[in-house]
Amino acid sequence: MPRDLPVGNGSMLVNFDAAYCLRDFYFPRVGRDNNTIGHPCRTGIWVDGRFSWLHDDGWERRLRYEPDTLVTDVHLHHPGLGLSIICHDAVHHLHTIFLRSLEVRNHWNSEREIRLLFCHDFHIHEIADGDTAYYEPVNDFLVHYKWKRYFVINGRAADGSGIFQYATGTKESGPLEGTWRDAEDGELSMNPIAQGSVDSTISLRQRVPARGAVSFHYWISAERGYFEARDLDLLVRRSGPAALLDETRAYWREWVRASNPDFADLSPALADFYRRSLLIVRTQIDNGGAIIAANDGDSAAFNRDTYSYMWPRDGALVARALDMAGYHDLTRRFFTFCASLMPKPTYYPEGYLLHKYNPDGSLGSSWHPWIRDGLPALPIQEDETALVLWALWEHYNQTRDRAFVADLYPRMIRPATKFMLTYRHEPTGLPLESYDLWEERYGVLTFTTAAVCAGLRAGARFARLFRDKALEHSCAEGYERMRSAMLEHLYRPELNRFARMLDLHRDGSHSVDPCLDSSLYGIFAFGVFPADQPEVISTMQALIDRLWIKTPIGGIARYENDYYYQVSQDIERVPGNPWFICTLWVAQWWIALARSVDDLRRPREILEWVVEHALPSGVLAEQVHPYSGVPLSVSPLTWSHATFVETLLKYVNTYAVLTSSRGRRRAQPVVAEPAA
């Protein structure tokens, strides 16, 4: 199930699903640990002897955010109960405090007693066993803890009263489901402590006048020790939860409005979505620098693993979008984080980045083997190393922060550059084989080669900056040779376009993978070839013609006959599910080709298409169903939102050039649009 509402601050991330049920609770890092592992932490309401969970049928829901904030604006209505609830949720922008405000409105003509019940199904450190939950009467709060993780849970009703009732108990053990079952009659057991696999519930109580409303506040303070968590709870009580929510609103509005481009002829809805995308991207970035691909606890259902890792490639592309938007402090942390990942020389040379990493810098899980055909083989996607270097040069080009890149030059830039020069197939000048950006095939990929070209060019520029003349010469020579090799070997005249991949054989021969793959956009995206070069035009037109989804949903598939979450065998009409990033890549190409404002019509339509297929909250998934348009795979996907940000900024920058007195570009050939 998608995560419709993420709220976070870089150290804590909390996700709600489409039914407004809390599902993920990441602390102390974004992406690690998910202390619920996707299990529901239910919220319920008791009134007049009747009980309902807020995620039950019977509730009408509208899940949104307050404008330009990471504070939710959720409206719930239950006609049968005669109640409406307006909910605001946030993680404090500075402190690891999860805050909730719930205003309950009584639509009946009689006073009624309301009880709100909050259940906590923690699996601290992502393990159910060995937890403790207990009620502490002196401070009137409930505590969950294990090792160096403490969660203090508290709340207040409108009259200032605290916890009304509580329960702790055993879960996931034989017939014992947890205290949430105890909660369904509105009464809690008052059991003060439980150990092992445990959960807990607290309730708040208040009488609501006829046709009136009352507010409840609830919060969880998280820290590595008891006293630290207790002090955060005291902060909430002294400052007031409403005041802390107001602080958080103000912070995020100021943060996101700092990026305020001229939105040209784009609609207010697109401008709003630009800001929403920046905010959602921020929720997926750990304060230590790791840009996490996605944090959706349900993604483990596909292969018993998650997307809660830092892929250097995804991170580099997200960092580029953030730099374009002006958030250089975040990208500096990312590049510093990547520099810390560079391995020491072993059997292999130094200077490469591996598959993926945890947010603490430890190596993530992988399915890439260290042996191929009986020989040692580096299990890398070389584009991940190259694109970090490319994005770092783009960062420097904007910031001119020489001191920052000077620190990274000996630790990351020089080793990575030398690695790319070494890791080459000498007979052709192409990179040696590695895994593709989709992590599915092994060979010499056109996308990877374009990325390595961009990385070598960045390496040459850095070497010139630091007067490393020998390295500058080697990089410049390597770049020119590799670029020429792309045209000689990866561009296939028999196809009239670039091929996806070459498979090199031991006898010196090679075979061609002719599959049309949206990643071929890399031939122009990183500046290796201009967007209007004939070989680029023929390749991109072939992608649009073959990979556009020929249903009312539209969009671009990853590649022909994409198996991942495949829902249709009608490959001719539906070569795969539409991906947001792949569709936006086509928009970027059209933007690069634009020679008049009229040429921006189609990319503007794609930006609008993205917004139309987002969740009502503004969250983008990885892909959508080709017939229904519902989200598929993880949600939110950081890469999707960052690519929207990047594409919109390229649009408005190009619009500004085209409408300036000197900005009109020379005419270009007519470019095909996708068939209806």
The residue that leads in pLDDT, 369 or 2, is: 369
In angstroms, rounded to a whole number, what is the distance separating the alpha carbons of residues 669 and 129?
65
In angstroms, rounded to a whole number, what is the distance separating the alpha carbons of residues 451 and 423?
14
Mean pLDDT of 163-172: 96
Residue 663 has pLDDT above 60, yes or no: no
| Same domain (yes/no): 277, 240 | no
- Which of 11-15, 43-47, 647-651, 669-673 shows the lowest mean pLDDT across its residues? 669-673
Residue 29 has pLDDT above 70, yes or no: yes
Place of tokens 């260290």: 370
Q: Which of 201, 131, 125, 124 is nearest to 173 (CA)?
A: 131
Q: Confidence band (pLDDT; 50, 70, 90) for 662?
A: low
Note the pLDDT of residue 367.
Answer: 95
Note the pLDDT of residue 179.
Answer: 96
| Same domain (yes/no): 242, 274 | no
Strands 556-557 and 578-579: what pairing?
antiparallel
pLDDT in tens, 253-276: 999 999 999 999 999 999 999 999
Note the pLDDT of residue 331.
Answer: 98
| Same domain (yes/no): 180, 277 | no
Q: Confidence band (pLDDT; 50, 70, 90) for 661?
A: low
Note the pLDDT of residue 671.
Answer: 46
> Which amino acid would we find at residue 361?
G
Note the pLDDT of residue 297.
Answer: 66
Mean pLDDT of 545-574: 97
Q: For position 95, which CATH number holds?
A: 2.70.98.10
pLDDT in tens, 278-314: 999 999 999 999 999 999 866 555 557 899 999 999 9
Q: Which of 360, 367, 336 is nearest to 33 (CA)?
A: 360
Q: What percent of the chain lies above the pLDDT cut of 90?
A: 93
| Same domain (yes/no): 220, 93 | yes
- Show the tokens assigned to 120: 């906590």
Half-sphere exposure of 333 (CA within 13 A, CB side): 18
Which of 232, 254, 276 terminates a domain? The answer is: 254
Note the pLDDT of residue 299.
Answer: 59
Note the pLDDT of residue 506.
Answer: 78
SS3 at position 248: helix
Count of the separate structural domains present in the chain: 2
Note the pLDDT of residue 334.
Answer: 98
| Same domain (yes/no): 276, 161 | no
Note the pLDDT of residue 347.
Answer: 85
Residue-range definition of the domain harbouring residue 600: 267-284+529-676
Residue 512 belongs to a domain: no
Mean pLDDT of 88-108: 98
Residue 668 has pLDDT above 70, yes or no: no
| Same domain (yes/no): 95, 243 | yes
Residue 675 has pLDDT above 60, yes or no: no
| Same domain (yes/no): 535, 630 | yes
> Which amino acid would we find at residue 12?
M
Residue 515 belongs to a domain: no
Q: For position 550, which CATH number holds?
A: 1.50.10.10
| Same domain (yes/no): 588, 666 | yes
Residue 373 belongs to a domain: no
| Same domain (yes/no): 277, 143 | no
Tell me the backbone φ, ψ of residue 212, rounded to 5 degrees.
-115, -175
Residue 109 belongs to a domain: yes
The answer to whether residues 245 and 86 touch, using CB atoms and an 8 Å cutoff, is no
Residue 521 belongs to a domain: no
| Same domain (yes/no): 275, 230 | no
Residue 102 belongs to a domain: yes
Note the pLDDT of residue 1.
Answer: 63
pLDDT in tens, 519-534: 999 999 999 999 999 9
The answer to whether residues 435 and 368 touch, using CB atoms and an 8 Å cutoff, is yes
The answer to whether residues 281 and 322 touch, using CB atoms and an 8 Å cutoff, is yes
Mean pLDDT of 345-349: 86
Residue 374 belongs to a domain: no
pLDDT in tens, 129-165: 999 999 999 999 999 999 999 999 999 999 999 999 9
| Same domain (yes/no): 165, 275 | no
The answer to whether residues 83 and 45 touch, using CB atoms and an 8 Å cutoff, is yes
Residue 250 belongs to a domain: yes
| Same domain (yes/no): 250, 274 | no
Note the pLDDT of residue 664.
Answer: 54
Note the pLDDT of residue 553.
Answer: 98
